[in-house]
A and B are shown apart, each in its own frame.
Chain A
Amino acid sequence: MNISRNVLIALATFAIVAIALYSYEDVEDSAAANSTLNRGLSTDPESLDPHKMRSVQAGEVLRDIGEGLAGYTATGELIPAAADGWTISDDGLTYTFNIRSDARWSNADAVTASHFVFSLRRLVDPATAAFNAHLIADIENASAISSGEMEPSALAVEAKDDQTLIIRLSRPTPYFLALLTYPSTFPVNPDSLAEHGDSFTRPGNLLSNGAYKLDSWQPGSMLRLSRNEEYWNNAATAIDAVNYHVLTQPMTELNRYRAGELHITAIVPPESFKRIREDRPDELHVASYLGVYYYGYNLSKPMFGDSLQLRQALSMAIDRDVLVEKITGRGEAPAYSWVPAGVDNYEPRRFNYADLNQDERNAGARRLYREAGYSAANPAQFELRYNTSDTQQRIALAVQSMWREVLGAEVTLVNEEFQVLLSNMREAEVTQVFRSSWIGDYNDAHTFLSILQGGNPANMPRYASDEYDELMLAAAEQTDPKLRRVYLEEAERVLLADHPVIPLYFYVSKHLVSLQVSGWGDNVLDYHYSQHLSLATD
């Protein structure tokens, strides 16, 4: 009885499987290897709609298939893109762009100023629910539109004619041009959107105004792009096709690179880094990156909120050189400031203890720890939360032991799934010290400093300083870039003196780039447009 029942289950399964075998067709074919660039992508784009995208990976693909008013060279200099030039009014509030007369969609229609007007309005329209609507919050009326107080048509963006686009800002924003390189500000084609609705981003429907167009997308596997013949700068595009291989496991990606199946990897796994640096030094590209890895204090807890001494003691007792040399080991820079080096028009301030050696720092930390009222008999006891991952764990263990050895603090490690940690950080109920990071959205100190302003939703430590907020406000109202810089740097000095966060290190971008690829440029934003690259044929 029992056996025959299982036999029947097996038969039924086989019947279904047989049908599946019959119905599954191989959709992939081998493309010509020479003109096809194979790139690793660590996860699928969540959307190729510029207004629904959010992730680094979606941005990577969108920079190949779309184009904003401005762009970057391979080495990260800002250049005109869909606009061939612009003028900025003396008060820094009005930008006038001249759209290229030869800018074309992949169906040969002209890209016009009205397309940008349409797209920027769509970005802030509450009905779109765009994740990055706040990127252009400095355009006049943008915030009021996002919060439903005004109609999208009230956005201060105007097409004077097909070629002339005028954008008015509510306050001077020196990094505004850099924002226009971000895919959320790329144009979408209004006719295509009207025709296809939500499915306008599908292969076959998607109209692109960039160097490549989307041929196919198999979620979890690959996005195939091919040359957009209509692109205004098509003559300068060397590579005919780009395959983005979705590879969520860094080791899998590395294996595929070593097997010669990828030209560029999205990342380099930490456990293989040392060997790669020895074996393939010419292929390894490590560049500083606009990102800071930090531990934050939950300042709404009196233990941390009321004790500057404890906050500073904990910060000083961490030997960052050990972290970046022994644990991360990929060329990361130890962090003694909040804003990473390499940001345009900015010189990061540093912790006042940054020039001491670690022994001197430890001595200072012990003194502050005692002043805060803690001792061997009465040690500081708290939890350090981080998200489950090998690297986070090793860093947390190292910091825990540094705090124990230098100060005698008793720290409990709590690891949580990323989404759980995020939700705990936001609620700020159970968190005491937590791990987080911040990746800059644009090349300006503002992207780092602004998140610690009072009321900023990303202000996880709940840092609240009137002095800091006033300096940030003064910087925001400043049209003179030199003065603005002075205010921002002063704000960072105030911030560092208050120790709401412990910056541990600054990120680096890490890629393996095949020697066949030329035109690669390391840059602080880690943007690598396929159109700047070429492949040596062998």
Chain B
Amino acid sequence: MLRYTVLRVLGAIPTLLLVIVLAFLMVHAAPGGPFDDERVLPPEIEANIAKKYHLDEPLHRQFLRYLGGVVQGDLGPSYSYRDHTVSELIGGALPLSLHLGALAMLLSLIVGVTAGTAAALRKNTVLDRTVMALAMTGISIPVFVVAPVLVLVLAVYLQWLPAGWSGNAGGARYLLPVVSLALPQIAYIARLTRASMIDVLASDFIRTARAQGLGTIAIVRYHALKPAMLPVLSYMGPAVAAILTGSVVVEEIFGIPGLGQLFVRGALNRDYTLVLGIVIFYATLIILLNLLVDILYAVIDPRVRQR
């Protein structure tokens, strides 16, 4: 088992290295540099800056220098936040992004599954059609439309909720971003739940349960829900990805200092180290998740270990 784990971890290293090389080449291939501006500097000052940030070295030297730092866990100084290191910036932004993402995921599961089940139980009724129409709307309208409309109605006109993040305390400021982030996922999950619930409810063992005199609620709860959840669970992977990318937009709109906002700013400012740092972070996260799954697989299924 230990041998298997070690081999798998070693196998992940070339993947990560490849990601770093590609990302490094891509950010450096983008035209312009981190310190370009309309106010062009005198050449001697430009030279001083390039020297200080090692931008005057040939690309392979820069890469080796960077890689050397990464190996030691140092993602370098940020160019656009010159008082901070990249690790600090990611460390500061990550918990908030995860926090929002987790809440959005939780909300979409609870609301999506409930609405989908209700629709399946009342198939082809007004309730069903309403839920499905709402779900279709939720899927079709992008976050960057939904979020500002929510702000306008709930925060600006009605003033029930805060319009932004900074300077507002408490849970209320989570509400709009989390809802904006969750809405499309709620819609997907409701549709998935409805479809699979209808399938399951039509199967023989449910008919048997009914014949034994069980009520609808009991049938759903004890017999139908579990098998109906399988497609929803397998949708979790894409949902996590969707929430990650959606957070880039939502964080911009609400001014939430998370990873997404950091990434956008880094890319626009040609902040090489910041962009690379976030890419490496995401890549590591995904590799780790897969690794974890593979190892869990090996734990569950001994045959995997033999291969």
Contact = CB atoms under 8 A, between A and B. Distances in A.
Interface of A: 2-3, 5-10, 12-14, 16-18, 20-21, 23-24, 26, 28-31, 38, 43-44, 46-49, 52, 54, 126-131, 133-134, 137, 143, 146-148, 198-199, 201-202, 218-222, 243, 245-249, 251-252, 255-256, 258-261, 417-420, 422-424, 426, 436-439, 441, 457-458, 460
B38 A131 contact: no
A7 B234 contact: yes
Nearest to B154: A259
B45 A255 contact: no
A438 B89 CA distance: 32
Shortest Cβ-Cβ A-B pairs, 10 listed: A419-B32, A220-B257, A10-B236, A20-B98, A221-B257, A129-B52, A24-B95, A17-B102, A147-B44, A222-B166
Interface stretch (B127-135, B156-164, B209-217): B156-164
Nearest to B53: A129
Contacts of B89: 219
A6 B233 contact: yes
Contacts of A38: 167
Main secondary structure of the interface of A (DSSP, over half): mixed
A34 to B, nearest CB: 14
B98 A21 contact: yes
B122 interface: no
B164 A255 contact: yes
Nearest to B240: A13
Contacts of B40: 426, 457-458, 460
Contacts, number: 238
Contacts of A221: 165-166, 255-257
9 contacts: A3-B234, A8-B297, A21-B102, A30-B170, A129-B52, A255-B155, A256-B164, A437-B38, A457-B42
A128 B48 CA distance: 8
A29 B167 CA distance: 7
A5 B82 contact: no
A255 B253 CA distance: 10
Contacts of A460: 40
Given A221-B166, A256-B164, A420-B32, A10 B237 contact: yes
B101 to A, nearest CB: 7
B167 A28 contact: yes
Nearest to B169: A30
A243 B95 CA distance: 23
Interface of B: 30-33, 35-46, 48-49, 51-53, 80-84, 89, 92-96, 98-99, 101-102, 105, 148, 151-152, 155-156, 159, 162-170, 230-231, 233-237, 240, 252-258, 261-262, 265, 268, 270, 285, 289-290, 292-293, 296-297
Nearest to B155: A259
Contacts of B296: 8, 12
B166 A457 contact: no
Contacts of B163: 252, 255-256, 258-259, 261
Contacts of B253: 249, 252
